[in-house]
A and B are shown apart, each in its own frame.
Chain A
Amino acid sequence: MRKYSVFAIAREAMRAHKGWDAQWSSPEPRAEYDVIIVGAGGHGLATAYYLAKNHGITNIAVLEKGWLGGGNTGRNTTIIRSNYLYDESAGIYDHAVKLWDGLSQDLNYNVMYSARGVMMLAHNVHDVQSLKRHVHANRLNGIDNEWMTPEQAKAYCPPLNISPDARYPVVGATLQRRGGTARHDAVAWGYARAASDRGVHIIQNCEVKGIRRSANGHVTGVETSRGFIGAKKVGVVAAGHSSVIMQMADVRMPLESYPLQALVSEPVKPCFPCVVMSNTVHAYISQSDKGELVIGAGTDQYISYSQTGGLHILTHTLDAICEMFPVFSRMKMLRSWGGIVDVTPDRSPILAKTPVPGLYVNCGWGTGGFKATPGSGHVFAHTIANDNPHPINAGFTLERFRSGRLIDEAAAAAVAH
């Protein structure tokens, strides 16, 4: 693979950039692979990359019904953090943050991981109790997350309104300095390029239509819009469509898929230095390296695969944004869009083997999947390669919904998940 560097660019600049080659190849599918990953989003591509890099499995196909990175990977608000309450969550999200730091060098692709800090606001006594519970748990788990006074929060994020006259005044905040953002497209493209370089086949415009199993129930491959493709192991990483794919193997999932909308403002000169989230007023916001304010809205209330949502969801989000940041009222919404988020009953993901031998699933990330991309791919690759979970994802089973051993960040946490 041609190494990316400023020198390479300079060299190409001399010859009108005619020398660059394709970032990833677009091969015809083979008859059979060792592993098929269904879904070429960040998690799926990362899984393929780590299978190749860490487990020596390179006879892999990543099947994508559309274009790679075109699902939630290319539609999210790119927030990265690991200040979760429970050990299991903290474990996997911090595993991811450790990988984010250094990912650009590992992939030789600048994913623009920006550790600008993620701030979570407390607006009342209940928020304080809950956020402090996180701070203490994070500290004992070795995860940075500090408590801030409103004044300290304002100093870190000048546009923040900390007036006591606000409807829900800011009474405190937490800050995870290692939290931040990354460029979502670059994450998909970087993993695609690095995986492709290691021999992984990325096959776009190839929709999975069925999962074929042998008499003893073991997975033997998938039916696709481009014919049958054999595989000993199939990993489903299909986000909002996970239930649909799993149903093809007669596995019913504890999942519901909801529209999640986001929006960006017109680009303006840098004015917002970090990520701010508030659960009580329901909004989160950051500024992209292009200058756009990136704002996450809530989910619509009904199941939908339409990738669109209601205007009222956006307006309610902007109510909150302008309440916290009244200076943004004259800013303009430039673009809004929707993704499909797959949500589990306990708002924690499922990264596990399934009742079907050879079938693995990585889903249920809800509204928080992007931040986990490297960690998720890393441990899911381990799970597939060893037919056994990595200690970090051992708790994220399907079985937990039978035993009741849930990882209920939603119930326990007063923070947006």
Chain B
Amino acid sequence: MLLIHCPYCDEDRPELEFRNAGEAHIARPENIAEISDEEFAQFFFIRTNPKGLIYERWRHIHGCARFFNAVRDSVSDKFLMTYKAGEKRPTVKAGEKA
């Protein structure tokens, strides 16, 4: 069971309180009605699925109920940092604690 730092509760909390919500920083196109089939597939189906640093969304669903983002190493499962929804994508290098 992972231990996840909720940026809103500012505390490490057990994974049981959280729900993973997939890859982060995939914004719903403003003009979604107009985009092409290819663009829609990219937006809705295609994922980075990186081996290494992953930018992902979590919801503290059984805690403060907020969605937030995390940077995690998908090989070690270690979190490098978590940050609030809407904050811009930080640049972190593997191994370094942000």
Contacts and interface: CB of A to CB of B under 8 A. Distances in A.
A and B touch in the complex (CB under 8 A): yes
Interface of A: 241, 243-244, 252-257, 301-306, 308, 310-312, 342, 345, 401-403
A256 B47 contact: yes
A253 B46 CA distance: 5
Given A243-B47, A255-B49, A311-B1, 13 more contacts: A241-B51, A243-B51, A252-B42, A254-B46, A254-B47, A255-B47, A305-B51, A305-B74, A305-B75, A306-B76, A310-B2, A345-B44, A402-B41
Given A252-B46, A257-B49, A312 B77 contact: no
Contacts of B56: 302-303
Nearest to A344: B45
A243 to B, nearest CB: 4
Nearest to B4: A302
Contacts of A305: 51, 74-75
Given A305-B74, A308-B77, A312-B16, A253 B2 contact: no
- How many of chain B's residues touch chain A, expressed as a range? 20 to 34
Select the residue from A257, A303, A402, A403 with max chain B CB neighbours within 10 A: A303
A306 B74 contact: yes
A342 B74 CA distance: 14
19 contacts: A243-B47, A243-B48, A252-B42, A252-B47, A253-B47, A254-B45, A256-B22, A256-B47, A257-B51, A301-B19, A302-B72, A303-B49, A304-B74, A304-B77, A305-B51, A306-B74, A345-B44, A345-B45, A401-B46
Dominant SS among interface residues on chain A: loop
Contacts of B75: 304-306
A257 B75 CA distance: 11
A304 B72 CA distance: 10
A255 B50 CA distance: 10
B2 A256 contact: no
Interface string B21-56: 010000000000000011011101111111100101
Interface centre among B20, B42, B50, B51 (most CB of A within 10 A): B51
B12 interface: no
Contacts of A312: 1, 15-16
A401 B15 contact: no
A305 B44 CA distance: 22
B48 to A, nearest CB: 7
B62 to A, nearest CB: 13
Contacts of A306: 74-77
A243 B1 contact: no
Nearest to B78: A306
Contacts of A311: 1
A310 B56 CA distance: 18
Contacts of A342: 49
B6 to A, nearest CB: 15
B1 A310 contact: yes
Contacts of A253: 46-47, 49
A403 B49 contact: no
Nearest to B42: A252
